Amino acid sequence: MDFLNPRIPVGTWAEDVLDWMTEHLGWLFDFVKLVLTGFYDALYFVLGKPVYLVVIAAFAALAWWVSGWKLALFTVVGLYLIRAFDQWDNAMSTIALVLVAVVIALALAIPIGIWAARSTSVSRVVKPVLDLMQTLPALVYLVPAITIFSVGVAPGAIATLIFAMPPGVRLTELAIRGVDKEVVEAGNAFGATHGRILRQIQLPLALPTIMAGVNQVIMLALSMVVLAGMAGAGGLGGDVTASLASLDVPLGIEAGLAVVIIAIFLDRLSNSLGTRSSYLNKLEKANA
Position 165, amino acid: M
Burial class (CB in 10 A: 0-12, 13-18, 19+), 256: middle
Position 28, amino acid: L
pLDDT at 83: 93
Tens-binned pLDDT, residue by residue, of the chain (288 aa) = 677 788 888 888 888 888 888 888 888 888 988 998 999 999 999 998 889 999 999 999 999 998 889 999 999 999 999 999 989 999 999 999 899 999 999 999 999 999 999 899 999 999 999 998 888 888 888 888 888 888 888 888 888 888 889 999 999 999 998 888 888 888 888 888 888 888 888 888 888 888 888 888 988 888 888 788 777 777 888 888 888 888 888 888 998 899 999 999 988 888 887 676 655 555 555 555
Rounded Cα distance, 255 and 244, in Å:
11
Report yes or no: 216 and 222 within 8 Å, Cβ to Cβ.
no
pLDDT at 181: 85
Q: In 76-100, which positions are buried (b, 16+ CB within 10 angstroms) versus exposed (e)?
A: bebbeebbebebbbbbbbbbbbbbb
Rounded Cα distance, 202 and 114, in Å:
10
Closest CA to 198 of 217, 165, 169, 175: 175
Rounded Cα distance, 142 and 110, in Å:
24
Rounded Cα distance, 223 and 218, in Å:
9
| Half-sphere exposure in the Cβ direction for 30 (13 Å, CA) | 5
pLDDT at 80: 94
pLDDT at 285: 55
Sequence-ordered strand ranges (E) for 31-130 = none
The DSSP code for 190 is T
Position 210, amino acid: I
3-state secondary structure of 121: helix
Rounded Cα distance, 17 and 23, in Å:
10
Please give the angle made by the CA atoms of 217, 223 and 227, to the nearest 5 degrees.
Answer: 130
pLDDT at 109: 92
pLDDT at 227: 80
Rounded Cα distance, 82 and 258, in Å:
6
